[in-house]
């Protein structure tokens, strides 16, 4: 009985940790007419940044990537960015070298 309980506990921990790791791995951005939220992570590739730029353009917002560094596998390593929202507010930042858990970015309410 103790072995079954221990195996069940181990299996539950593995599933929980796997779920947590998958959440970290996802791209995190939300762009709508009401708000903009982008968190840049080490899971972003150049193509993902192009997609974010295209999504922002659809709502009359602009983003410029002043500086980008990628690792040898093509994943984002460092970023400097400026965004101009539809209300002409400007937000900019420069990250240091990104670690796996870093999520620099911005959130703007448009309404």
C-alpha closest to that of 105 among 22, 20, 31, 21: 31
A 10 A CB-CB count for 49 gives 19
86 and 80 in contact (C-beta within 8 Å)? no
Q: Over 50: is that where the pLDDT of 100 sits?
A: yes
Distance CA 18, CA 47 (A): 26
pLDDT in tens, 54-91: 999 999 999 999 999 999 999 999 999 999 988 898 98
Q: Over 80: is that where the pLDDT of 42 sits?
A: yes
Q: Over 80: is that where the pLDDT of 50 sits?
A: yes
Q: Which of these ranges, 6-10, 48-52, 78-82, has the smallest mean pLDDT?
A: 6-10
Q: Quick check: pTM over 0.75? A: no
43 and 98 in contact (C-beta within 8 Å)? no
Among all chains, which residue has been given the structure tokens 């998958």?
22
* Helices (H), ranges, 26-86: 46-58
What residues does each domain of the chain span?
Answer: 27-109
């Amino acid at each position: 009985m103790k072995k079954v309980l221990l195996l069940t506990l181990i299996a539950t921990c593995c599933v929980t940790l796997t779920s947590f790791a998958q959440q970290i791995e996802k791209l995190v951005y939300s762009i709508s007419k009401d708000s903009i939220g982008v968190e840049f992570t080490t899971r972003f590739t150049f193509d993902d940044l192009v997609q974010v730029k295209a999504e922002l353009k659809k709502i009359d917002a602009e983003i410029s990537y002043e500086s980008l560094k990628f690792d040898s596998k093509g994943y984002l390593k460092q970023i400097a960015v400026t965004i101009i929202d539809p209300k002409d507010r400007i937000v900019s930042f420069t990250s240091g070298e990104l670690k796996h858990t870093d999520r620099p970015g911005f959130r703007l309410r448009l309404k």
